[in-house]
Amino acid sequence: MALPYLEAVLCFMILMYIFETYLDIRQHRALKLPTLPKPLLGVISDEKFERSRAYSLDKSYFHFIHEAVTILMDTTILYYRVLPWFWKKSGELVTNVGLNAENEIIHTLAFLAGAMVWSQITDLPFSLYSTFVIEARHGFNKQTIWLFIRDMIKGILLSMILGPPIVAAIIYIVQIGGPYLAIYLWGFMFVLALLMMTIYPIVIAPLFNKFTPLPEGVLREKIEKLAASLKFPLKKLFVVDGSTRSSHSNAYMYGFFKNKRIVLYDTLIQQCSNEDEIVSVIAHELGHWKLNHTVYSFVAVQLLMFLQFGGYTLVRNSKDLFESFGFEDQPIIIGLIIFQHTIIPIQHLLSFCLNLVSRAFEFQADAFAKNLGYAPQLRAALVKLQV
């Protein structure tokens, strides 16, 4: 008798939705409290608190609807065997246009192309509402509808360029992997991760935003002095035009070895009242580097990815697993999708643990900046960023 894999997956998905909705309801009730938390008394004005509370409540209501629609669509797709139907239809489409549906790479690309179209259609209303209603209502959205459409088209074109060779490589590796499949898959994804970390900030990110060198002046001097004092190999210092899309602000760093770069959002520069507040945010980010948080996170992700691929190799030829989800054959991409669904319980547990670690890292980076003497400035900057 075949094990009820599909039923188990659906059951856990629904249970997790109920549990997370319960947590969201608790958070929503907290957001509705009309008084400032004690640590923020005298720090944030009542007017700003009310505006912040209204924004958070709007996002909370939106989140409830988005999650309800998502779980409804996901359970419907799985329960009514939409995936095997769509796999079959994509094969028929490949045949109708004169291509060989027996070629699994071609069949898979057709399947994923249809899935991408479906994803764009179902996500678009939520993206539009979030950006042009909620964000605009509270004064955060700065982009036009044409910029939104342009970004969406660029994203689709990038997927069409980068996706097919990556998918083809994964299928080929699985086909020839043999007993060392998990190692080969992990090795490929490891190299791909390094490649994307290299080309994304240099090639892809500039397609969406404009990066300009931070002008000479007091701010640049202070950041360079801080980097030098920590022996951070700063090569370039950029300002990105985040204000073209949103008034939210941030800062980040990237690069390998002795070729590091720091990027400031122009909104961060606009919102902080003096250079030291901006430098304190950079000190926090440099704390992540100095304390090796980025390295630890990357290693943890690689380890988890290797374990996932190891688990996939154990079940990829399970006929019962595929039949439970309505498939007569065993396509490689479908096996990967099904496997991701079957380990949802483990993924939620790992996500919870990684969130705990991430929070600890954030507190450590704050303490690092504090120990450098930026406590008052960082406190003021973080309040402004949150507001």
Q: Which of 135, 276, 277, 366 is catalytic?
A: 366
Report how far residue 54's alpha carbon sits from residue 18's, in angstroms, rounded to the nearest whole number: 25
Q: 293 among the known binding-site residues? A: no
Answer yes or no: are the C-beta atoms of 283 and 378 closer than 8 Å.
Answer: yes
Q: Which of 24, 285, 328, 329 is catalytic?
A: 285
285 is catalytic: yes
Residue 329 backbone phi and psi in degrees, to 5:
-100, -175
Q: 138 among the known binding-site residues? A: no
221 is catalytic: no
Burial of 275 (0-12, 13-18, 19+ CB in 10 A): middle
Report how far residue 50's alpha carbon sits from residue 52's, in angstroms, rounded to the nearest whole number: 5
Q: 362 among the known binding-site residues? A: yes
3-state secondary structure 73-131: HHHHHHHCCHHHHHHHHHHHHHHHCCCCCCCHHHHHHHHHHHHHHHHHHHHHHHHHHHH
82-85 long-range contacts (CB < 8 A, ≥24 apart) are 83/325, 83/326, 83/327, 83/334, 83/337, 84/325, 84/326, 84/327, 84/328, 85/326
Which residues define the annotated binding site? 284, 288, 362
Residue positions annotated with a catalytic role: 285, 366
Which residues define the annotated binding site for Zn(2+)? 284, 288, 362
